[in-house]
Structure 1
């Protein structure tokens, strides 16, 4: 897509925010009210053992390493203070009638997205159309695949602290999900923790974003599911952070139909993320 065509699309989006969504035709068969535009980390602390045959030295090194893992994972979790999206996920699963939303799992457009190494699946729907149940169905399906890593996040404007509506909360949660796995911590996150005086200082949002980008590059087959983008108070900032991950991550986003004032967000998804699915 040329720069001139991007500018033309942007102007069209300003005058008619739904223009980009309406021109594509029908999308999900059997659905209504929708429009869809592993690794394991080793400990950052390493101990070089010159005498491989010395079982006692090796055992001592492993003991130190395991203690470091346990203590530092706990400390870093406490330091990040990341919002926990599992509460929303569990609530959605408990309310969802078995089979609800599972139509999307066999849809050709979803299958194409899932089989790709990167790309963005944007699902829009009316209020009460079941987008959160769709997210839950997708997350459950992806988490059942041990060959890939599924991270997820729920934007929630019912949170009085606003931590679940801004970009920082998302970055904190994704970094915790991606960088603390199998009892270990990714070296990049541990380095940031050390830089912040062993957790005495808060990391900047820019530092969180840069660290997340480094961590994500070391992972293979990563899926990211974001629910209720319309409840995000910093959607444009979030999308700019996600643009750094999209080269090696499959991202699914759900939202209500974007309002006229959200044309910037819609334009950004369509033209910078590029991958839009057709309408129903």
Structure 2
């Protein structure tokens, strides 16, 4: 007997009992003793289950007043129930034979979770998001599971694992809801390790089955295609019974032999294309490359037209572009515009069809973009689509290592070299903000990896690296790179800065009342005092926007000399009634291990820290309706909003606050 099947037949009752006990330990609730458990067990389909759940909720007055929100929850929950029933159909035969409770306890668990909302509006929204994410994972399996006759025992075992783990997810959500800690879904997922880990495991379990499906279907499709070609050549053979079902689905109306074969061949060709696309999606999910294009779009949006042209035409840059196996180190002070110059390089190189360009922005705001692992995953992903040969090599790489967990740095490095070596056209790797990797990671992972990238010994590969000239980076790259440029010594860089200042002063309405003399004075003063830092200039221009013409000269005479002094003055200018909240918000961003949303940070506005008891309390009336806008207003210059996440506008802000 298949060992997997033996596990299902012999131990399934024990597995369900263990899952129920784990649920009871988490929630202090016995699912088998819940009032509506018997009603759930009698349900014959999706609508029956949904009706029992709704009837159980109607006891709450708040539920009736929020009926429209229940409608949204009901719609997404209905999808979850449907897939769970299909999963149970796959794994449930043995359960029924052993007397195990089976899938009904999951629906009871959903009912208990819904009951814990007590009809409260915010909780509905959180549950809607939870069920949406669970539904997204489970819907991967629905089509595959509906044809249960062709499923292996391993697939059935995986279906059972998914059901039992879903019960664990429900237990954690119920526990958090009862403790009033499930009001904001994203806060729970980002801040509660148990829930985050549970959802990630559910993701892995469903992805495992999808991966198996893609590989099995692709293999079967290729085999059937060969058999169809044999049939069309007139050879005799017996079609395997496992393939007859597919052929009957494709040609159910008994068409002629030749026409049927053509229909099968066309349909299988389409299936092959779809399966290959699904395989590539699974490979990307397994590789999990950080998305460097997000950073590139953000930097490009801040770039003034014509910025960086001088560098693209400079002898140093031209040498790097044309010299075999060359490497370029671009360095400058904080806020000197290195990222903007890198974005100009990337756009210029990618505009030439003969080039292959892969790029990466290290990012202090995003932990996934601070290590060698993220760098290699991103570069590998970008190069994998550079040619058909690269794509084939990438699929072979996944076939060899996809079932062994994530690839190691060594495997990724070797694969990157393999992909680059498969290309004959020029390959350019552009890596910005190396200094935004943490010091420990930089010393142990990033800098050693950069040495390897600058010495791939492939003539057609060129590497450009941009960073601050910090000691460890200088020691690593100064002698390693064949070309270097210090922006502090680049006179054309000063011209870029002058153009940027003039553009802002002459095109922004805030400076429309200034006479030409003051515009020229401000332009000259800012350029002279900037010391090569675009960031410093940008902050002074923000401050000068509020300045009346009669105060301009005095303000220009007293400009802060450094970024640190600029940030101190910005804090001093904040309204004293708000400064405590602003400092708490900045502290949260500084020390948070994960990106924080505007919604999460704005909770600070609703907390009263100065109570008679000394214990902070939450006052829901003090919540703001537009958290992102309010945070940007109060923390102007310190933070930016990206996809509703709040982060520091520049690494120098974080360094100053620490």
Equivalent runs, 1:36-55 vs 2, <5 Å: none
Give the superposition deviation at 1:60. 8.0
- Give the corresponding residue for 2:129: none
> What TM-score do the two structures reach when normalised by structure 1?
0.70
Task: Report if aligned partners of 1:121, 1:276 keep a CA contact under 8 Å in 2.
Answer: yes
Q: Residues 201 and 108 from structure 1, CA distance in 2 versus in 1: closer, same or farther, beyond 3 angstroms?
A: same
Q: Residues 181 and 138 from structure 1, CA distance in 2 versus in 1: closer, same or farther, beyond 3 angstroms?
A: same
Residue by residue over 1:181-231, the C-alpha shift from the partner in whole angstroms, topping out at 9 and shown as x without a partner, is 4688633322221123x4562111211111111111011210111001111
Residue by residue over 1:13-50, the C-alpha shift from the partner in whole angstroms, topping out at 9 and shown as x without a partner, is xxxxxxxxxxxxxxxxxxxxxxxxxxxxxxxx999999
Equivalent runs, 1:8-87 vs 2, <5 Å: 63=270, 66-87=273-294
**Residue 257, structure 1, aligned to residue 469, structure 2:** yes
| Aligned counterpart for 2:297 among listed residues 81, 90, 94 | 90
| Aligned counterpart for 2:479 among listed residues 265, 271, 275 | 271
Task: Measure, in 2, the Cα distance between the counterparts of 1:73 and 1:117.
Answer: 33
Residue by residue over 1:66-118, the C-alpha shift from the partner in whole angstroms, topping out at 9 and shown as x without a partner, is 33431222111111111000011000111111111221111111112112332
- Give the corresponding residue for 1:209: 413
Which structure carries more strand by proportion? Answer: 1
Which range is displaced more, 118-127 or 232-241? 232-241
What SS does structure 2 have at the residue aligned with 1:156? coil
Task: Report if aligned partners of 1:120, 1:246 keep a CA contact under 8 Å in 2.
Answer: no
- Give the corresponding residue for 2:243: none
- Give the corresponding residue for 2:374: 169
Q: Residues 62 and 104 from structure 1, CA distance in 2 versus in 1: closer, same or farther, beyond 3 angstroms?
A: farther
Q: Residues 62 and 271 from structure 1, CA distance in 2 versus in 1: closer, same or farther, beyond 3 angstroms?
A: farther
- Give the corresponding residue for 1:241: 452
**Residue 225, structure 1, aligned to residue 437, structure 2:** no
Task: Report if aligned partners of 2:451, 2:480 keep a CA contact under 8 Å in 1.
Answer: no
Give the superposition deviation at 1:268. 3.2
Q: Residues 180 and 152 from structure 1, CA distance in 2 versus in 1: closer, same or farther, beyond 3 angstroms?
A: same
Equivalent runs, 1:190-205 vs 2, <5 Å: 190-196=395-401, 198-199=402-403, 201-205=405-409
Task: Measure, in 1, the Cα distance between the counterparts of 2:276 and 2:455.
Answer: 28
Task: Report if aligned partners of 1:89, 1:136 keep a CA contact under 8 Å in 2.
Answer: yes
Give the superposition deviation at 1:232. 2.3
Task: Measure, in 2, the Cα distance between the counterparts of 1:117 and 1:237.
Answer: 22
Give the superposition deviation at 1:253. 0.8
What SS does structure 1 have at the residue aligned with 2:298? helix
Q: Which 5+ residue runs of structure 1 have no aligned equivalent?
A: 1-44
Q: Residues 58 and 104 from structure 1, CA distance in 2 versus in 1: closer, same or farther, beyond 3 angstroms?
A: farther
Task: Measure, in 1, the Cα distance between the counterparts of 2:270 and 2:413.
Answer: 33
What SS does structure 2 have at the residue aligned with 1:126? coil
What SS does structure 1 have at the residue aligned with 2:435? helix
Task: Report if aligned partners of 1:164, 1:170 keep a CA contact under 8 Å in 2.
Answer: yes
Give the superposition deviation at 1:246. 5.5
Q: Residues 64 and 237 from structure 1, CA distance in 2 versus in 1: closer, same or farther, beyond 3 angstroms?
A: farther
What SS does structure 1 have at the residue aligned with 2:369? coil
What SS does structure 2 have at the residue aligned with 1:277? strand
What SS does structure 2 have at the residue aligned with 1:146? coil
- Give the corresponding residue for 1:41: none
- Give the corresponding residue for 2:599: none
What SS does structure 1 have at the residue aligned with 2:479? helix
Which structure carries more helix by proportion? Answer: 2
**Residue 150, structure 1, aligned to residue 361, structure 2:** no
Q: Which 5+ residue runs of structure 2 have no aligned equivalent?
A: 1-218, 234-261, 490-658
What SS does structure 1 have at the residue aligned with 2:484? coil
Task: Measure, in 1, the Cα distance between the counterparts of 2:270 and 2:318.
Answer: 44
What SS does structure 1 have at the residue aligned with 2:467? strand
Task: Measure, in 1, the Cα distance between the counterparts of 2:427 and 2:463.
Answer: 9
| Aligned counterpart for 2:391 among listed residues 178, 183, 186 | 186
Give the superposition deviation at 1:238. 2.4
